[in-house]
Amino acid sequence: MQQDFAIKLMVGLGIILAGLFAVLGSPRDGAAVIAGAGLGVFNYHWLYQGAVRFFEAAQEGGVKGRSWVVLAILRLGFLAAALILLTRMDFAPEGLAAGLSVPVISQIIWSTRRGLDRSADSEARNSA
C-alpha cells in the first residue's frame, strides 16, 4: 500500500466518520473521532516508517540488537499516554475508539480493492 494514498484515505474516512458522529451523536463525539483518527494516522505513519527502516536494514544484513523492539515499545507507550491524556480531557471513549479504527478500516478497503483488481486482471489474462 502506498503510504501517500493510505494517509489520504485515512483522513477522508476520519472526516466522514467524525461528521457522522457529530450529526448522529454530538459535536463532542465528532471531536473525539477526529482526535482518535489523528492519533491513529500518527501511529500508522510511525509504524510504517519503522517497518521501512527495519526491512531495509534486514535486506542489507544490518538488523542487529533489539533497537527496533525499543522503538516499538516507545511507540506503544506514546499511544497509551496519548489515549490516557485524551480520556482525561473528557473526549468520548467511543469516539476515540472509532477514530482509532480508521487505519484498520482503510487497510481493509485498500486490500479488498487490490484483491478485486488482481482477480479481474487474472480473469482477463485467462480468458484471452
CA 106, 107, 113, 116 torsion-angle sign: negative
pLDDT at 80: 93
The pLDDT, as a whole number, for residue 3 is 59
Per-residue pLDDT tens over the stretch 84-93: 999 999 999 9
Neighbours of 33 (CB within 10 A): 30
Instruction: Look up residue 61 and give its DSSP letter.
Output: T
Q: In this structure, which long-range contacts are made by residues 86-90, counting pairs with CB atoms below 8 Å and at least 24 apart in sequence? A: 86/32, 86/35, 86/36, 86/39
Report helix, strand and coil shares of the chain as percent, to nearest 5: 85, 0, 15
Alpha-carbon gap, residue 102 to 127, rounded angstroms: 38
- Under a CB-based contact definition with an 8 Å cutoff, are residues 96 and 86 in contact? yes
Q: pLDDT digits over 27-84, tens only?
A: 999 999 999 999 999 988 888 888 888 788 778 877 666 777 788 899 899 999 999 9
pLDDT reading at 1 higher than 60: no
Supply angle C-alpha 102, 83, 104, rounded to 5. 20
Predicted confidence at residue 97, as pLDDT, reads 93
